[in-house]
Amino acid sequence: MPEVLVRKGEPVDRALKRLKNKLDAEGILEEVRRLRAFETPNQKHRRKAKNNAKRGRTKFRFTA
């Protein structure tokens, strides 16, 4: 679980924004949203295909 230390004199909003960015980078919020409701097999297939396509694009871009 990511944690953020509030620096001296730092507004709480900024610390919350840093925490939100860390959660987003690790995909925690996306997973919580996904697990909140039932996912049909078609939705699961589409989500996995989308993730695989994204992974393939980044792999192609950085292996050249």
Cα separations in angstroms, 29 against 9, 41, 48, 57: 28, 21, 17, 23
Q: What is the pTM of this model?
A: 0.56
- Counting every residue written for the chain, the total comes to 64
Tell me the pLDDT tens digit for each residue of 26-64. 989 888 988 999 999 999 999 999 999 999 998 888 776
Q: Residue 25: which of 46, 2, 59 has the closest Cα?
A: 2
What does each C-alpha distance from 17 to 24, 27, 55 come to in angstroms?
A: 10, 15, 26
